Amino acid sequence: MKNTREKALQIINDVLYKGTFLEESLEILKASNIDERDFSFIKEITTGVVRNKTYLDYVIRQNSKVRFNRIHKIILSILEMAIYQMYFLDKVPDYSIVDESVNLAKIYGNKGSISFTNGILRSISKEKALQVTLKNSIDNLSTYYSHPRFYTEYFYDKYGEEFTKKLLKANNEKPPFTIRVNTLKTNKDELIKDLSEAGFDIEETTYVNALNVLNPNGIIDTEFFEKGHFYVQDLGSILVSTFLNPSKNSKVLDLCAAPGGKTTHLSELMDNTGEIIACDKSKGKIKLIRENAKRLGCTNISPRVNDARVLNEEFINKFDYVLVDAPCSGTGLYRKKPDIKWNKGIDDLKELGVIQLEILNKAKEYVREKGLLLYSTCSLSKIENEDVIENFLKENENFKIKKLRDKDVLKLFPSVDGSDGFSICLLEKINNY
């Protein structure tokens, strides 16, 4: 690619100021037959800037003679890219980073912004990486680790400074590439042997059939993926299905199933017996579930279009197990999708909490007496989890919590469990009244 930095700049600008999603932008770029090294560089720069934006902006504020809100957004992004490379990467000399940034400013700025870009970056390049020295501890952590203040404040108040610091640090690290062994077609030892012989470095995890691949490039192109021997899935997502743990020959409803990771794992746990109805609200999502089920050899899954927010009378009292992996803010996915930090605020969480409770109140009707209802989100917020469950139980005294690891609402943390952030609650329907 002629100018990788210019492409990176365009993606950053689109993500931060036009509402596009970083993951989707990178997927489109990768599909354009870009050189692998160019793609890796652009991914590193774009992800790094989005992940560390608050800290990078702090550095700019401390060094700029121009008021921060008067810096044009595209020039701001150029500066963020440059500082990220100076502070976090060591492949390119600082003088070269300054020159490339000035060249970008010549394309997108004017004479004043070119001079400003050159001056501030040369000044920053002469100093050591700047430490954050804000008086308020929450502001200090939010700035240094680039997290929304409401997120930092919640964990600081509930779990303390040291826990919060470790969580924010873990959220900024590259997530492991985890795969689930599909025991319908192979076993862990066989898959480790096959992938190792194909040149992949494999690391076992705390869950018996989850493996981390240390050098995953090209693994999706292998015959083992094609034959359905594994599914790419985070450890937290894998654990959700194991906590529901449906019996063989049971009837299961996965109410928000796409793309089918948890659905196909449930099928595997049931050894392809019984029946799983896998629902989502669009034909496109149902197509994804069907494709994954076929590749993985899951024959007990019946995908169908269904809106989780609308009562389906056909489902009432029909299922032994119901999984509600509810639509959520994704605040447990900061490692994987750092742009969520900046496009989901506290008001979004409150709106989602209303929707989640609405879905849960439909799902309760589908559970048979003595059946189990599992609620999960890839969010760590109280608003979308503890508050939703508390409000649900107030209205539905015929349900009770079955503790998971001695917790009413189990939390999985990147800093503790090595997984994405998840919240999981298992409910039992005591009776139909």
Per-residue pLDDT for 211 more than 70? yes
Q: Is 378 a catalytic residue?
A: yes
Beta bridge partners of 399: 429
Which tens digit of pLDDT belongs to each residue from 144-155? Answer: 999 999 999 999
Residue 260 is labelled as binding a ligand: yes
Residue 258 is labelled as binding a ligand: yes
Average pLDDT over residues 309-332: 97
Q: DSSP assignment, residue 207?
A: S
Average pLDDT over residues 115-134: 91
Per-residue pLDDT for 5 more than 60? yes
Residue 221 is labelled as binding a ligand: no
Cα separation, 219 vs 195, in Å, equals: 8
Count other C-beta atoms under 10 Å from residue 172's C-beta.
Answer: 20
Strands 367-377 and 410-412: unpaired
What Rg, from alpha-carbon coordinates, does the chain have? 24
Residue 298 is labelled as binding a ligand: no
Of 377, 385, 363, the closest CA to residue 421 belongs to 377
CA 389 distance to own-chain centroid: 22
Of the pLDDT bands very low, low, confident and very high (cuts 50, 70, 90), residue 134 is confident
Average pLDDT over residues 293-316: 97
Give the per-residue pLDDT at 1.
Answer: 44
Which tens digit of pLDDT belongs to each residue from 322-351? Answer: 999 999 999 999 999 999 999 999 999 999
Residue 327 is labelled as binding a ligand: no
Residue type, 391: N
Residue 325 is labelled as binding a ligand: yes
The answer to whether 409 and 374 are in contact (CB under 8 A) is: no
Residue 297 is labelled as binding a ligand: no
DSSP letters for 83-129: HHHHHH--SS-HHHHHHHHHHHHHHHS-HHHHHHHHHHHHHHHTSPP
Cα separation, 110 vs 318, in Å, equals: 67
Give the per-residue pLDDT at 282.
Answer: 95
Cα separation, 359 vs 47, in Å, equals: 33
Average pLDDT over residues 87-115: 93
Give the per-residue pLDDT at 23.
Answer: 94
Catalytic-role residue among 279, 298, 378, 425: 378
Q: What is the mean pLDDT of the chain?
A: 96
Of the pLDDT bands very low, low, confident and very high (cuts 50, 70, 90), residue 431 is confident
Q: Of 134-138, 157-161, 177-181, 267-271, give the lowest mean pLDDT range.
A: 134-138
Average pLDDT over residues 377-400: 97
Three-class DSSP category at 248: coil
Per-residue pLDDT for 113 more than 80? yes
Per-residue pLDDT for 91 more than 90? no
Average pLDDT over residues 60-88: 96
Give the per-residue pLDDT at 2.
Answer: 54
Give the per-residue pLDDT at 75.
Answer: 97
Q: String of b and e for 308-347 (b: at least 16 CB within 10 Å)?
A: beeebeebeebbbbbbbbbbbbbbbbbbbbbbbbebbeee
Count other C-beta atoms under 10 Å from residue 255's C-beta.
Answer: 25
**Which carries the bigger pLDDT value, residue 164 or residue 90?**
164
Residue 308 is labelled as binding a ligand: no
Residue 257 is labelled as binding a ligand: yes
Helical (H) or strand (E) element with 349:
helix 346-363
Which tens digit of pLDDT belongs to each residue from 35-62? Answer: 999 999 999 999 999 999 999 999 999 9
Residue 90 is labelled as binding a ligand: no
Average pLDDT over residues 100-128: 94
Cα separation, 395 vs 379, in Å, equals: 23
